[in-house]
Amino acid sequence: MPNNASDPLAELLRSAAAHFSAAEDELRNSRDPEREFRLALDDYNEALLQSPSHPAALRGRAVTLVKRAGGDLFFRRDTLERWDSGITALDAELDRDPAQLELLLYRAEARTCRARCELDHEHDPTPDAQKGIADGAAAVKLDGTCGEAYLRRGEARLVVAEFMARRQQHDALGQSELAVADFVEAERRGYRELDLYLHRAMAHRCHGVAREIREENPIASFDKAIAVLSEAIRLDPTRPATYGERAIIQEFKAKALLRQRVDPFPAWSDAIADYSENIRRAPSDVQAYVHRATARVYFSQLLAAIGRNPLPELANAIDDCDEALRLHPDFGLAYSVRAGTFKLQGDIEAQVGQNPRTSYERALKEAEIALLRGVRTWSVLMTRAQSLQILEKRPEAARAYEELSKVPGLSPEVLLYIKEQIKRLFDDEQDPAR
C-alpha cells in the first residue's frame, strides 16, 4: 500500500474520486448528492493548491463541477451559475488539449443542459444548444464510431426543436427529425444506455407537436414515443424518470385528442398513473409532483366541461405542490403551478356561487413568490395580472399586463387580449361606476 504521509496528493485524488463515486450513487437513487460533490471538490481544490497544473486534478474538478450542476438540475435548484462554472473549467482543459473526447462529450452535455434550463424559464436556449451541437459534431469528427457523440448532438438538436415548437415554427419538424436520426445512429454505433430511449421518445413527442403546427395529425408520433418508453420500462421497470416522461407524452396525446373531439380521459388517467408511479419510485422527485399537479389541473377542467365537480381534483393538485415545496421550499415552479391552480379554483367557486376572493388572493400571493424565485413565465405573469384585475387593484393590474405584453413569443390572440384588458382597466379607472 502507498504511504499516505509521503504521497498526500495521491491520497487527495483517491478521496476525491471516492466522494465523486458516492455522489453518483446518491443521484442514481434519487437522493441529493450535494454533500458528496462538495467534498470531492474540496479534495480537488486542495490538490490543486499543492500542484496547480496537475492534469488529473484539473480534469476531475471540471467533471465534478458539471456533474454537480446535473444534480442541481434533478433537484430543481437554480443551476445556471453552476453550469457556467463547469463549462468554464472544461473550456480550460479543452483549450489545453482539444482532442480529449471524454471532456468534449461532457461539455456538449453541459451546454445542452444549460440550454434546457433556459428553455424551462421560457428563455431562448438556442445559443447554448448550438454550442452543444458544435461540441457533438466535433466529437463525431474525433471518433465517428462513438455512439455517445451522436447522442449528445441529438440532445442539443432536440432542445432547438422543442424551442421552435413552442414558438410555433414550422422548422421544428426538421430539427426533430435530425435529432431522431442522431439517436438512431447512436444506437447503431453501440450506445445502449436507457437514456437513449428517453431522448428518442422526447424527439418523437416534439415531432408530434411539430406536426400539429403544420395542422397534421400528431397521434402516431405520440404513440411511437409511448411505445419507445414502454419498451424501456420493460427492460428496466425500476427507473422513475421513464414513467415521468411517458406521463408527459400521455398528456400531449390527451390534449391532441381533445382538440380532435376524441375522448381524452383514458390518456389523462394514464398520465396521472405514470406520474404516481414515478413518485412511488422516487419520492423526492419534486418535478414529478409538480407535473402531476399540472395534469390534475387539466383533468379538473375536463371534469368541469362535462358537468362534474372539479374542486376535489384541484385540491389534489394543490396537495402535490405543497409536497414539492415541503421537499424543496425554493422551487419556484411549484409556486407558479399553485398560483394557477388557486386562480382556477377561484373561477370555479365564482361559477358555483361560492366566495372566490380567498382563492384569488392566494393566487396573487403565489404568483408573486414564483416571480421572486425567478420564474417569469407568461403563465405566472398572466395569473398575477388577472388576479389583480379581479381583486380590483386596477393600477397594479394595468402595470402587470404591460409587463406581460413584453414577454417574447406571445401569440397575436394573447397580445390582443392584453390590450383589451388594459383598455378596460383604464376605462374603469376613469369611470368607477362602470
Nearest alpha carbon to residue 386 among 427, 323, 342, 332 = 342
pTM of the model: 0.77
HEC-encoded secondary structure of the chain: CCCCCCCHHHHHHHHHHHHHHHHHHHHHCCCCCHHHHHHHHHHHHHHHHHCCCCHHHHHHHHHHHHHHHHHHHHCCCCCHHHHHHHHHHHHHHHHHCCCCHHHHHHHHHHHHHHHHHHHHCCCCCHHHHHHHHHHHHHHHHHCCCCHHHHHHHHHHHHHHHHHHHHCCCCCHHHHHHHHHHHHHHHHHCCCCCCHHHHHHHHHHHHHHHHHHHCCCCCHHHHHHHHHHHHHHHHHCCCCHHHHHHHHHHHHHHHHHHHHCCCCCHHHHHHHHHHHHHHHHHCCCCHHHHHHHHHHHHHHHHHHHHCCCCCHHHHHHHHHHHHHHHHHCCCCHHHHHHHHHHHHHHHHHHHHCCCCCHHHHHHHHHHHHHHHHCCCCCHHHHHHHHHHHHHCCCHHHHHHHHHHHHCCCCCCHHHHHHHHHHHHHHHHHHHCCCC
* Predicted pLDDT at 73: 59
Judge contact between 75 and 37, C-beta under 8 A. no
Q: Domain ranges in the chain?
A: 1-97
Which regions in the chain score pLDDT beneath 70?
A: 1-6, 29-30, 71-79, 431-434
- Mark residue 2 as left, alpha or beta (left: phi above 0; alpha: psi -120 to 50; beta: remaining): beta
CA dihedral 339→349→387→363, nearest 10 degrees, is: -20
pLDDT of residue 172: 87
Cell numbers 426538421 correspond to: 174
Q: What does the pLDDT read at residue 434?
A: 55
pLDDT of residue 53: 80
Predicted confidence at residue 2, as pLDDT, reads: 45
Length in residues, the chain: 434
pLDDT at 1: 39
Share of the chain above pLDDT 70, in %: 95
Question: Could you tell me if 343 and 359 are in contact, meaning their C-beta atoms sit under 8 angstroms apart?
Answer: yes
